[in-house]
Amino acid sequence: MATAAPPVQKTTIPFWRDTRILAVLFQVLFVIIVVGVLWFFYTTMMAGLRQANLLPSFAFLSQPASFSIGESVIAYDPSNTYGYALLIGVLNTIRVAIAGVILATIIGIILGISRLSENWLLRNVATVYVEIVRNVPLLLQLFMWLALTQTFPRQQDSISIFGLIYLHNRGVTMAWPVTGSDFGAWVPWLWLGLLAGIAFYVVRRIQFARRDRPGVAMPQAFLLAGAVVAIGYVFVGLSNGEWPLSLSIPELQRFNFVGGIGLTPGFAALLAGLVIYTSVFIGEIVRSGIQAVNKGQREAARALGLTPGQTLRLVIFPQALRIMIPPMTSQYLNLTKNSSLAVAVGYPDLFSIAGTTLNQTGQTVPVIMMVMAAYLTVSLVTSLFMNWYNKRIQLVER
């Protein structure tokens, strides 16, 4: 008869040797230390501000700013409030960021493709361009572009580029689209084009889903929307005898240009510096993304009879785009944050206007907090959009 095995006795581990308890205790201790350090800095800061009679307050936002702003997206007067002045700074920053991202992307794609060109001259010129620009500090490049604008001739002797762009010592004057008196009659056609494009896109996506096969509906939707808008533009223009949207070409009259749009030397220097500097990094991202695509994709495209241009546009670049989007997002964020260097070239961006506000009001903490919140918001919105687009173009396993 077999004897029963003795019961297994559970050994109790002391709490000071239990790794799970120790892990929780160390995390709690770390949080307490961090909160204590932050509380020490906060109390020290508040004591100093109280002693200087500069306690943080947002009441200054409703007070008149009493300083002028060189250029703004919307109308501004020194009698406006500090809050309105900071809004001007945000809009100016967004203005240069959007224009910079678009132009830097276009130039970067051209650079990246040129770096892989079979043309010896084009490939080496692009390589030298990239190596020089990315190794020179951005601030120094901004100073160079600002100094370059000062070497342009006066307005009466402006450098003309195809009669649409004029370079002079007061900045850049260029042609710009303006709305006519009949623009309101064209607005319904814009809405109709938008609705037609959306409806076409939805219908095509449903058709693809029912057939259980992939398909691209966005280009056709854009073409349909553009066709409806163009038809409306021609119809309104011919019916009323005036085009709802026309190109205003600048004309020199005595001492100033009339028509078009003018860019100050500060904005022109800032935009040129940010675009040229960021485009070289985007170009390297494009080059590496294209090279990361399997060589067999190129060989398969050639076997199908595609030309090199068709191979790049239809086969290589769409696959490389999935690799390029994440690092390009970082470059877009860098461009937006680097726009804070505008104060060095006299462009009134958010950082520049915030500095003037800080000096006049003495509200250091609230102003810095609002500047940080503004840049954080712009960066988060950019990241959310780029992450959505990145997820949208990723391959989905079936």
Residue 214 falls inside a structural domain:
yes
pLDDT of residue 169: 83
Report if residue 42 sits inside a domain: yes
Kindly give the residue spans of alpha helices, DSSP state H, lying in 81-182. 82-115, 120-133, 138-150
The pTM (predicted TM-score) of the whole model is: 0.81
The CATH number given to whatever domain includes residue 288 is 1.10.3720.10
Q: For 55, phi and psi rounded to 5 degrees?
A: -60, 140
Q: Are residues 161 and 284 in the same domain?
A: yes
What are the tens digits of pLDDT across the range 61-101? 888 888 888 888 888 888 888 889 999 999 999 999 999 99
The yes-or-no verdict on residue 214 having pLDDT over 60 is no
Token pair of 268, please? Answer: 């022109």
Checking if the pLDDT of 320 tops 80, the result is: yes
End-of-domain residue from the set 193, 217, 245: 245
Does residue 181 surpass a pLDDT of 80?
Answer: no
d(CA 21, CA 12): 14
Is the domain of 164 the same as that of 187?
no
Instruction: Identify whether residues 204 and 157 lie together within a single domain.
Output: no
Q: Is residue 198 part of a domain?
A: yes
Question: Does one domain contain both 306 and 376?
Answer: yes
Segment 374-382 shows an average pLDDT of 92
Judge if 384 and 350 occupy the same domain.
yes
246 forms beta bridges with 178
3-class DSSP state of 262: strand
Q: What's the pLDDT band for 396 if we cut at 50, 70, 90?
A: low
Query: 156 and 294: one domain?
Result: yes
CB neighbours (10 Å) of residue 81? 14
The domain total for the chain is: 3
Assess whether 287 and 216 both reside in one domain.
no
**Residue 351 belongs to some domain of the structure:** yes
Integer Cα distance of 247 and 251 in angstroms: 12
Which of these ranges, 23-37, 66-80, 221-235, 335-349, has the smallest mean pLDDT? 221-235
The answer to the question of residue 72 being in a domain is no
250 found inside a domain: no
Check whether residue 89 and residue 225 sit in a common domain: no
Whole domain around residue 171: which residue ranges? 82-175+259-393
On whether both 374 and 325 belong to a single domain, the answer is: yes
Same domain, 193 and 152: no
Residues 269 and 132 in one domain: yes
Structural domain contains residue 398: no
